[in-house]
């Protein structure tokens, strides 16, 4: 399956689900960990405008119907570069956890030729791999957790942006029993 690379300055609907529709989230702290990892890996290269994942509503006494998938609305930042040029190398992915990289916003100046621009899809890969390692260790399982590759839809006009925003926010809405 050919996937379109994520382009700087564009909005995307990012979504994925558990492999074989398995649950990605079993407890509230799983959601919290996923969002913390999203903040760690995605925030340096993209702004997150909307997200949805299921959470148990203690006020309404029901459980979300979608523990096996999530949706994100993001915009890839335009003027971001790596402070360290080797941050995207595959052999450095293991050391990603050690913060050997830092993104720098260069919106006020020109990026020097020696500075490397991040590859947003690799940041998503780090997010999914990090969460998978956490989930597998926590629940004594092994193997893939997410379907590959993660799904992405380019949002190319305002009407579609509004539609995706409403879709994401209304995705978990369903009748209360």
Question: In order of start, what are the domains of the chain with their CATH numbers?
Answer: 11-170 (3.30.70)
User: Can you give the pLDDT at residue 156?
Assistant: 93
Query: Which residues neighbour 121 within 8 Å (Cβ) at sequence distance 6 or greater?
Result: 3, 5, 6
Say which residue, 59 or 157, is predicted with more confidence.
157
Mean of pLDDT values over 105-112: 60
Mean of pLDDT values over 60-87: 69
User: Can you give the pLDDT at residue 176?
Assistant: 41
Say which residue, 27 or 75, is predicted with more confidence.
75
Mean of pLDDT values over 18-29: 88
User: Can you give the pLDDT at residue 153?
Assistant: 93
Is a pLDDT exceeding 70 seen at residue 77? yes
Reference 57, options 165, 166, 176; nearest CA is 176
Among 2-6, 35-39, 86-90, 105-109, top mean pLDDT goes to 35-39
Q: Report the mean per-residue pLDDT for the chain.
A: 78
Say which residue, 38 or 54, is predicted with more confidence.
38
Say which residue, 58 or 10, is predicted with more confidence.
10
User: Can you give the pLDDT at residue 103?
Assistant: 64
Does pTM surpass 0.85? no
Is a pLDDT exceeding 70 seen at residue 90? no
């Amino acid at each position: 399956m050919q996937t379109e690379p994520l382009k700087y300055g564009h909005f995307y609907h990012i979504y994925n689900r558990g492999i074989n529709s398995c649950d990605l989230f079993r407890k509230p702290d799983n959601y919290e960990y996923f969002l913390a990892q999203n903040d760690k890996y995605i925030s340096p290269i993209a702004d997150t405008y909307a997200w949805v994942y299921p959470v148990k509503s203690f006020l309404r006494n029901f459980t979300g119907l979608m523990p096996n998938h999530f949706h994100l609305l993001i915009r890839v930042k335009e003027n971001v570069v790596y402070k360290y040029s080797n941050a995207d190398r595959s052999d450095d992915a293991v050391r990603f956890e050690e913060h050997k990289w830092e993104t720098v916003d260069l919106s006020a100046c020109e990026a020097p030729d020696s500075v490397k621009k991040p590859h947003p899809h690799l940041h998503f890969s780090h997010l999914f791999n990090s969460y998978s390692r956490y989930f597998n260790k926590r629940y004594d399982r092994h193997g893939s957790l997410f379907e590959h590759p993660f799904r992405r839809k380019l949002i190319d006009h305002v009407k579609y942006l509004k539609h995706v925003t409403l879709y994401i926010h209304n995705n978990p809405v369903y009748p209360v029993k």
